[in-house]
Amino acid sequence: MQIVKISVMGNIVAIVGRPNVGKSTFFNRLIQRREAIVDSTSGVTRDRNYGKTDWNGREFSVIDTGGYVVGSDDIFEAEIDKQVELAIEEADVIIFVVDVTSGITPDDQGVAKLLRKSNKPVVIAVNKVDSNKNILDATEFYSLGLGEYYTISAINGSGSGDLLDAVVEALPDAVEEVEEDLPKLTVVGRPNAGKSSFINALIGEERYIVTDIAGTTRDAIDTRYNRFGFDFKLVDTAGIRKKSKVKENLEFYSVMRSVRAIEHADVCILIFDANRGFDGQVENIFWLAERNRKGIVILANKWDLVEKETNTIKNFEASIRERISPFTDVPIVFISVLNKQRIYKAIETAIEVYKNRSKKIKTRVLNETMLPLIEQNPPPALKGKYVKIKYITQLPTPQPQFAFFCNLPQYVRDSYKRYLENQLRKNFDFNGVPISIYMRKK
């Protein structure tokens, strides 16, 4: 079956600039606006430098590069150069934030020099223009040679509308794509975890490939896999790092590359080196997938090299689930790509997660199952107000989202939403899939 999609694939806007110009403040303003539109999800967001927002109907991802530079104004020029170079390479549009109160600094000129060499659209945001008194001071930023600038105040939001109009106008146009309606499994993880080896072990020397299609993400290739009764697209993101000069910024680089691949996946197969452990960078990629509401399978690779005792697997698994709490209903498969141990089990699990993510539960069954459980354990009263949930339905979205209709949705606490999520998981098997729960007015 072929379907035609009109879409804009993985638009990324990077916010760059030297420290202390207001990049993170502006980033937070963009993300807060997005979160005000969509109900907040349960759990704590683990990575602070990536988010999604929209403007004039265009949705895009935002990367804040500010948190990756160590130090304040006294920094090495080479360090900021690496940050900007990575942003240039991965982003569709770059917002270059400068500070009107300090004028153009040598660091600003260094960033501008790199941006001028690129063919990427750049929008200059002259920040801290809080009144008309210093609006004329912004004119000096024309001398950076990057075209039009926009005066903003990241703190109060003034001027951000015009700037975002320019950003959206510079984003790539929507693309008409013809693609087959197949599960898309994307292999992600930090470098040297075994991603390429995993894919090569699956495909084999004979390469059971129907088509090789250039992927929609840079350095990612969509491969049609049709073997042993499976039929899906396997996306290789093995090119997560290809420049030795970015070793110090490995986490930033991995996030930039992973964002594009994750956003277009149905299921993310997260591979990590069991000898190295489920470290912060792996966890960061996990939360990117969760935040994008993708199915997730965790593969602990090189398990054959781990020294084992009686409860090694049990303890290893428990430590991972502790790190990914509260979203612990995720399959973990211990594999050895080198010895081809359980690699097909990993694919079977990923397909099961895909089915779970696509699952639709009839409204009648949903209510017959959940309403008695709610009656047995109703939402706790808050401020003397009693919440009565009358009706439940699954929303028509690609991933599981449920609306619970009640009299006082504003009084339902997150802890009770987690109870509802746990009951849905217990009764309907959503293993590996994030669930969204919305309380709505009856």
Q: Is 196 annotated as a binding residue?
A: yes
Q: Is 110 annotated as a binding residue?
A: no
Q: Is 277 annotated as a binding residue?
A: no
Q: Is 142 annotated as a binding residue?
A: no
Q: Is 8 annotated as a binding residue?
A: no
Q: Is 393 annotated as a binding residue?
A: no
Phi first, then psi: what are they for 189, rounded to 5°? 150, 175
Q: Is 216 annotated as a binding residue?
A: no
Q: Is 20 annotated as a binding residue?
A: yes
Q: Is 386 annotated as a binding residue?
A: no
Q: Is 236 annotated as a binding residue?
A: yes
Q: Is 129 annotated as a binding residue?
A: yes
Q: Is 200 annotated as a binding residue?
A: no
Phi first, then psi: what are they for 331, rounded to 5°? -70, 140
Q: Is 416 annotated as a binding residue?
A: no
Q: Is 441 annotated as a binding residue?
A: no
Tokens representing 438 are 């919305």
Tokens representing 28 are 């937070």
Q: Is 204 annotated as a binding residue?
A: no
Q: Is 22 annotated as a binding residue?
A: yes
Q: Is 21 annotated as a binding residue?
A: yes
**Nearest-angstrom CA–CA distance, 426 and 329:** 10
What is residue 262's three-state secondary structure? helix
Beta strand 230-236 pairing with 389-394? unpaired
Q: Is 118 annotated as a binding residue?
A: no
User: Roughly how many angstroms between the first and final C-alpha of the chain, as a whole number?
Assistant: 39
Q: Is 147 annotated as a binding residue?
A: no
Q: Is 379 annotated as a binding residue?
A: no
Q: Is 64 annotated as a binding residue?
A: yes
**Nearest-angstrom CA–CA distance, 353 and 289:** 13
Q: Is 67 annotated as a binding residue?
A: yes
Alpha helices in 19-125 (DSSP H): 23-37, 77-90, 106-117
43 — alpha (psi -120 to 50), left (phi > 0) or beta? left
Q: How many CB atoms lie within 10 A of CB 275?
A: 12
Q: Is 442 annotated as a binding residue?
A: no
Q: What is the Cβ-side half-sphere exposure of residue 330, based on CA atoms within 13 angstroms?
A: 30
Q: Is 130 annotated as a binding residue?
A: yes
Q: Is 400 annotated as a binding residue?
A: no
Q: Is 367 annotated as a binding residue?
A: no
| Numbered residues of the known binding site | 17-24, 64-68, 127-130, 189-196, 236-240, 301-304
| Numbered residues of the known binding site for GTP | 17-24, 64-68, 127-130, 189-196, 236-240, 301-304
